[in-house]
Amino acid sequence: METPLKKHTDTRRNNLIQLILALVMIILINVIGSFFFTRFDLTTEKRYSLAPSTKKLLRETDDIIYFRVYLDGEFPAGFKMLARSIREMLDEFRAYSDNIEYEFINPSSASNAKTRGEVFERLIQQGLQPTDINVRTKQGQEQQRIFPGAMVSYKGREIPLNLLADQLGAPPDAIINNSTQALEYNLSNTIRKLSNSNRPKIAFTYGHGELSLIETADIRYALSDYYTVERVKIAGNVNALTSRKANNDGSFSIVNKYRAIVIAQPDSVFTEKDKFIIDQYVMQGGKVLWLIDPVFATMDSLQQATQTMGITQDINLNDQLYKYGVRLNSNLLMDINALPIPMVTGQMGNQPQFSFFPWYYFPVLTASSSHPVVNNLNAIRTEFISSIDTVGSPAIRKTILLKTSQYTRIALTPVMISLDLLSKDPDPEEYNQPPQPVAVLLEGEFESLFKNRLTSEISEAPELGFTEKIKNNRMIVVSDGDIIKNQLRMNEGSLMPLPLGYDRHTGQTFGNRDFILNCVNYLCDDEGLMSVRSRELRLRALDVTKARNQLLMWQLINILGPVLLVVIFGMVQFAIRKRKYAR
């Protein structure tokens, strides 16, 4: 018979063995963890997982990258959350690179107002943008200046990084969330800027009535972070897009000058020679972003009268685009899901009163595709767009990137455009067309438009280096030039560009800039940039009304709940022990 003493001794021995085994397992796990690194991200949107391109970038760093983050101090909850997210993201970076170092600095730490002012002035001169916020103190509300950004240094170079999203008209909680959402992109993009000394060249064409410098100012500035952005005038110059080099054996090698070109809203006819130059650029692997209006229509004429005409605009590119796999149709698409525009509805004193009405000729496009170019993009504003049909060779893959909603109406040209449309409710029976494609990605084998069209003297001339086919290339065609055009505002007597995608009438910011950046990045094979930029972190905000109405209940649950759980657990343990030792 087992004595109580022996039973007690066996229990102690078993407990000791379990403790030793647990310690051994913990030590083994730590030893294994020192050789193999992994993390588990259980969030729906993989909030705490870095993109493969970011990990690759961090592993390739060969010197210290130092972040001085100026977000230390007493802030409202939103900015505390942003500062915490920045710290967590930098810690995540450090998990993949020993070269990441950082410190958080409070620029307002000096007690002397003059010293603080000097610090603020220096940070502004370095390129950091200040933000004024209201902070609640014991004395009441107090305005405080903060710098939600960082100075990043690498190999003797230093650049500013502003971490607060610049979204005109967006509410504060959305701005904080968007800033958090863009952290990985902004931080990794800064490292990429500092470490990238040889940037590819891209070019905007001009000479055919394309958009002006100021109308594309914002997107050219955004693209300059990754590329050397130039302008090029073709004008029949065979060497405008490519250069020809003579080889030792008497043959010629053709090299593209630009990784990609952007043809933004031309309005005049392309000559056959200009088309030939673009065609041969494509045949040599050059990428093209076509932003073409097949119908001419403008709001400018509606400023003088209440109606205008939308007419077909033939700039002699139809056959070339058809050869590459698309047809731009001579129509205007109207969509119930449209951008509102202001209309005078009354007068108060000498001031006109405006109301907003949806202008069905300005569809707002919501990308439904999971393709990297449009994945997780914000809605995109357009003006007077047309439909695109995919045609031609099965060797060319056609991917629809953007299309209108299911409430679409097709107006064939010539079409009368009247402001009277604003005062009428749409008839559902008229807006019953299926979604119409307006942006198409073309990938695969492209054949030259000029195959079998040139004389043998031209096609066989070695100095021209005519190529009739390329096996693998890509281009994007969009039937709206306004999609890349930034709006303008008057500032002290001169016009200044607004951010691309920002609508000055509604105060909304649309996804046009990210769409164009993604298009160019994809054409230039910079897909890693797109995957980081298009990440989406959902804003899970509290229901303020519900939280206020149920405040007492949740306070009691949070205070009494843990105490009750401990009491219940103790009572269960007591009952088990009493039953066990009562035998």
Cα 265 versus chain centre, distance: 22
392: region left, alpha or beta (phi > 0 left; psi from -120 to 50 alpha): left
pLDDT score of 539: 44
pLDDT score of 515: 94
pLDDT score of 142: 66
Q: Which of 101, 206, 220, 85 is nearest to 153 (CA)?
A: 101
What's at 97, amino acid-wise?
A: S
pLDDT score of 564: 87
| Helical ranges in 257-309 per DSSP H | 272-283
Q: Which of 115, 213, 168, 132 is nearest to 484 (CA)?
A: 213
* Interatomic CA distance for residues 479 and 404, integer angstroms: 12
**Other residues' Cβ atoms within 10 Å of the Cβ of residue 405:** 19
pLDDT score of 541: 47
Model pLDDT for residues 266-293, shown as the tens digit of each residue? 999 999 999 999 999 999 999 999 999 9
The answer to whether 208 and 273 are in contact (CB under 8 A) is: no
* Interatomic CA distance for residues 407 and 410, integer angstroms: 10
Query: Read out DSSP for 306-325?
Result: SEEEEEE---S-HHHHHHHT
The phi and psi torsions of 539 (rounded to 5 degrees) equal -85, 105
The answer to whether 519 and 480 are in contact (CB under 8 A) is: no
* Interatomic CA distance for residues 155 and 187, integer angstroms: 17
pLDDT score of 125: 87
Cα distances from 367 to residues 160, 335, 370, 506, in angstroms, run 33, 15, 8, 21
Q: What is the mean pLDDT of each run of 10 residues along the chain (583 residues)?
A: 62 78 83 61 61 84 91 82 90 90 89 85 86 67 80 88 68 76 83 81 96 96 90 92 77 86 97 93 96 93 82 95 96 94 74 84 88 85 96 92 95 92 87 95 95 71 76 96 94 87 88 92 76 53 60 83 86 79 63
Q: Which of 408, 340, 339, 342 is nearest to 380 (CA)?
A: 339
**Other residues' Cβ atoms within 10 Å of the Cβ of residue 578:** 9
What's at 324, amino acid-wise?
A: Y
The answer to whether 357 and 507 are in contact (CB under 8 A) is: no
Furthest-apart CA atoms within the chain: distance in Å:
112
Give the domains, in start order, of the chain with CATH numbers. Answer: 52-192 (3.40.30), 198-533 (3.40.50)
The answer to whether 263 and 287 are in contact (CB under 8 A) is: no
* Interatomic CA distance for residues 144 and 146, integer angstroms: 6
Residue 227 is classified by DSSP as: S
Model pLDDT for residues 338-357, shown as the tens digit of each residue? 999 888 766 776 777 778 88
